[in-house]
Amino acid sequence: MGQWIDLQAADGTPFSAWAAHPPGAVRGAVIVGQEIFGVNSHIRAVTDRMATRGFLAIAPDLFARFTPRLDLGYSEADVAQGRRYKAQAEAMPDAILQQVQASAQWALAQAPCKVGMVGFCWGGLVTWRAAAQVPELSAAVTYYGGGMTSQRERTRRPRCPVQAHFGRRDTIIPLQEVLAFAHATQAQAAHQPPVQTHIYEAEHGFNCDLRASYDHDSAIQAKDRTLLFFDQHLALPLP
């Protein structure tokens, strides 16, 4: 369904994005935040599936400043390469958020709608930051957001409702940090939009059916919760 389009961040940086239009009326828009593997086949598939649900969906190439249209697999070599680009991106977090904002503004220019974001792994961290810093967002969903449970990140105050999905057996994101994140966001519930935290009997990357850590039951439950969340906060009713 999707195709590559060309956009530009506020600092003038050009970047590509995979964009998919729904077959019928636009019910809302969703930005898809990539993992460290780039806008690869998994991220493009997620974007296309969002479009089938009636959302205008767009996955910005968040590594465009370093290696345009990176498309990695999941081998140890791919992980090492992706981590190198992530380290470069983490040195300029505000520039990355400019690309998220440009994607949101593109969506709003296509159709009058509300915009949300869903992000995976490093894209989950970017989504958590965007929920606090990108005013165009009306909802955000994170999947095993690497780094967002750290003491520094969990003090952020989102401007929109957030739903977060984590795996109990995730060896990258310690369960203790996840529980601390849930506690911290619950403690701030009276002063910020709500943050839902869901924990599954699964490993890191449980949503991706191309990885050994894929867990079908957890992925389906998380998907259903995500779509319901976006239906509640973004979407016009299905016909």
20-54 residue pLDDT tens: 999 999 999 999 999 999 999 999 999 999 999 99
Mean pLDDT along residues 100-121: 97
H or E stretch at 165 = strand 162-167
**Confidence label for 235 from pLDDT (cuts 50, 70 and 90):** confident
H or E stretch at 164 = strand 162-167
Residue-level pLDDT at 32: 98
**Confidence label for 11 from pLDDT (cuts 50, 70 and 90):** very high
- Cα(62)–Cα(70) distance, integer angstroms: 9
Q: What angle do CA 46, 52, 53 make, to 5 degrees?
A: 95
- Cα(69)–Cα(136) distance, integer angstroms: 25
Is 94 an annotated catalytic residue? no
pLDDT in tens, 196-230: 999 999 999 999 999 999 999 999 999 999 999 99
What pTM does this model have? 0.96
CB 36 within 8 A of CB 123: no
CB 166 within 8 A of CB 206: no
pLDDT in tens, 131-190: 999 999 999 999 999 999 999 999 999 999 999 999 999 999 999 999 999 999 999 888
Name the catalytic one among 42, 61, 113, 121.
121
- Cα(47)–Cα(39) distance, integer angstroms: 10
Name the catalytic one among 160, 165, 170, 208.
170
Residue-level pLDDT at 190: 86
**Confidence label for 1 from pLDDT (cuts 50, 70 and 90):** confident
E-assigned strands of 9-155? 14-20, 28-33, 55-60, 115-120, 137-143
pLDDT in tens, 52-76: 999 999 999 999 999 999 999 999 9
Residue-level pLDDT at 189: 86
Name the catalytic one among 160, 204, 231, 233.
204
Is 113 an annotated catalytic residue? no
Residue-level pLDDT at 38: 98
CB 124 within 8 A of CB 109: no
pLDDT at 97 over 70: yes
Residue-level pLDDT at 94: 97
**Confidence label for 237 from pLDDT (cuts 50, 70 and 90):** low
Is 170 an annotated catalytic residue? yes
pLDDT at 85 over 60: yes
Mean pLDDT along residues 71-96: 97
Residue-level pLDDT at 184: 94
Residues with Cβ within 8 Å of residue 89, at least 6 apart in sequence: 62, 63, 65, 66, 96, 122
